[in-house]
Amino acid sequence: MADNKNNPHEVSDTGHEWDGIRELENPPPRWWTISLYLSGLLVLVYFILYPSIPLVTGSTKGLLGWTQIKEYHRGLEEIQAVRAPFEERLAEMTAQEILDDDEMRNYVIASTRVLYGDNCAACHGVGGQPVPGSGYPILNNDDWLYGGTIDKIVETLAKGRAGMMPAHANLLTEEETDKLVKFVIDASNGEATEAGWKLYNEKGCFACHGADAKGNQMLGAPNLTDRIWRFSGEPDEVRRTIMHGVNDANDPRTRIAIMPGWNERLAVKLEAEEFGDDPEDYYDGTETERLTETEIKKLAVYVHQFGGGQ
């Protein structure tokens, strides 16, 4: 047969034929046959060395005792060993000190991406840019409801925020509402009229948004003179905000805009330090810590470095 392998008409076949193509009995190449037997041997060796055969309550362990979870923990330990010196330093530094230290700032930015993704990105977007109209504040511009300094960002993360705008549906006539909607839109474009300003002041809007309508960070009242909209700049959406407010418990159509606090213990500490008191005098033992103080500092630096930090 070897003498005739180049002439298919002189090689025996199996008797099968499809569309004029005969199935010959040529043996496969020797290298292919050897590879087949070696692969079978490799499978057998794998079965002996590694977990492979499922059992009722687990699987065979293999002579090496290797598992994916062990491999994961080993890799995690290696990463933690590299990070440990940095994390120890972070615990002793303030957020401002981290920001001022190039090495530590770069470490935080590189190591906090996952922390931000797990806890913040769902609302504020991967790069600090939430879905338009979602109502979540943009983090990568320089427009801050409560302030964009590193200390203010730490405070916001620790305490959470829940600004409040009262509903005006029962306080304004339809004509007044229309005029205020127009004023807000005009103000954002730098085109507010004298009549609009007059109504704005008469209805007491200045008490929260300021005499110049540029907002009040103490209250979390937004700037009405820029073109940045937390909810929407469409007339119907502006009207809804004016009529039904934000976080007004008395209006079922109010907008809900609440950021949870991530470390109540740190929030209490910051409040005590603001008054020069000992934080231990304020703790009652029930404070939650969804994120550690170090994680809060890392997130504050990470957010500050999006580009809009003050």
pLDDT of residue 4: 53
Helix (H) or strand (E) holding 21: strand 21-24
Q: Give me the residue spans of the domains in the chain.
A: 2-49, 73-161+260-304, 174-244
Residue position matching structure tokens 């418990």: 249
Per-residue pLDDT reduced to its tens digit, 119-173: 999 999 988 999 888 889 999 888 899 999 999 999 999 999 998 999 999 999 9
Q: Is the pLDDT of residue 227 over 80?
A: yes
Query: Using CA atoms, how far apart are residues 209 and 284, in angstroms rounded to an integer?
Result: 36
Tokens in use for 274? 């603001």
**Mean pLDDT, rounded, of the chain:** 92
Tokens in use for 291? 């994120």
pTM for the model: 0.78
Feature table: binding site for heme c: 120, 123-124, 165, 205, 208-209, 259
Residue position matching structure tokens 């303030």: 94
Residue position matching structure tokens 């290298």: 31
Q: Which residues pair with 161 in a beta bridge?
A: 259
Topology of domain 73-161+260-304 in CATH is Cytochrome Bc1 Complex; Chain D, domain 2 (1.10.760)
Q: Is the pLDDT of residue 17 over 90?
A: no
Feature table: binding site: 120, 123-124, 165, 205, 208-209, 259
| pLDDT bracket for residue 1 (50, 70, 90) | very low
Q: Please check whether the two domains, 73-161+260-304 and 174-244, share a CATH topology.
A: yes
Q: Which alpha helices (DSSP H) does the chain contain, by range?
A: 30-49, 68-92, 95-100, 102-111, 113-119, 121-124, 150-159, 174-188, 194-202, 206-209, 235-244, 264-274, 293-304
Topology of domain 174-244 in CATH is Cytochrome Bc1 Complex; Chain D, domain 2 (1.10.760)
Nearest to 166 by CA among 204, 123, 211: 204
